[in-house]
């Protein structure tokens, strides 16, 4: 039996909590990219007004989910287990997303990121989000700055 690697150490270092945590599971992460998933709760407050009688997940939250999984989880991995992350500061510096399909309440999405570069504390990734039928929901390029304040 093959043991699946645990990425709990990354999840425990994420600087988010409910209701703004959009990572449930990390499937893999390495120096070249990351993959993880999140299920949008059908009871989430934002569905009440987006849109009347036909709720859809806002694109800004799809982008945030892609950033948390594809950019931040990868960044924490690249910083390494031994780095002290008590004072981690993360800021998105750019995003360019294309939205192709809606995500409805209760749907689970999977985010896959590929490293473009990581240097001078700036991380840039190509991200893709897929729905439960493995259809491409959105894709784009995200960049951010990661600082641990440990210098």
For each of the chain's 151 residues, which pLDDT tens digit applies?
A: 545 678 999 999 898 999 999 999 999 999 999 999 999 999 999 999 888 889 999 999 999 999 999 999 999 998 886 666 666 777 888 999 999 999 999 999 999 999 999 998 899 999 999 999 999 999 999 999 987 765 5
pLDDT, position 83: 67
pLDDT, position 52: 85
pLDDT, position 151: 53
In a domain, 2, yes or no: no
The answer to whether 77 is a known catalytic residue is no
pLDDT, position 149: 67
In a domain, 44, yes or no: yes
Q: Which of 74, 62, 146 is nearest to 107 (CA)?
A: 62
Q: Which of 16, 149, 14 is nearest to 75 (CA)?
A: 14
Q: Which residues pair with 128 in a beta bridge?
A: 112, 139
pLDDT, position 146: 83
Which structural domain range is residue 97 located in?
A: 8-147
Q: What is the CA radius of gyration of the chain?
A: 15
pLDDT, position 5: 72
pLDDT, position 17: 93
Catalytic member of 11, 46, 50, 92: 50
How many domains would you assign to the chain? 1
pLDDT, position 92: 85
In a domain, 22, yes or no: yes
In a domain, 54, yes or no: yes
pTM here is: 0.91
In a domain, 3, yes or no: no
In a domain, 41, yes or no: yes
Beta-sheet strands, E only, within 1-151: 25-30, 33-39, 89-99, 108-119, 122-130, 136-147
The CATH number of the domain where 129 resides is what? 3.10.129.10
């Amino acid at each position: 039996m093959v043991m699946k690697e645990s990425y709990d150490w990354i999840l425990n270092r994420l600087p988010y909590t409910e209701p703004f945590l959009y990572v449930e599971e990390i499937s893999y992460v390495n120096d070249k990219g990351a993959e993880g998933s999140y299920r949008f709760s059908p009871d989430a407050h934002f569905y009440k007004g987006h849109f009347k009688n036909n709720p859809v997940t806002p694109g800004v939250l799809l982008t945030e989910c892609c950033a948390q999984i594809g950019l931040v989880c990868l960044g924490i991995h690249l910083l390494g287990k031994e780095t002290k992350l008590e004072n981690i500061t993360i800021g998105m510096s750019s995003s360019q997303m294309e939205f192709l399909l809606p995500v409805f309440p209760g749907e689970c999405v999977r985010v896959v990121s590929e490293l473009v570069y990581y240097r001078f504390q700036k991380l840039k990734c190509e991200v893709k989000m897929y729905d439960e039928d493995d259809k491409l929901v959105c894709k784009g390029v995200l960049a951010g700055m990661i600082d641990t304040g440990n210098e």
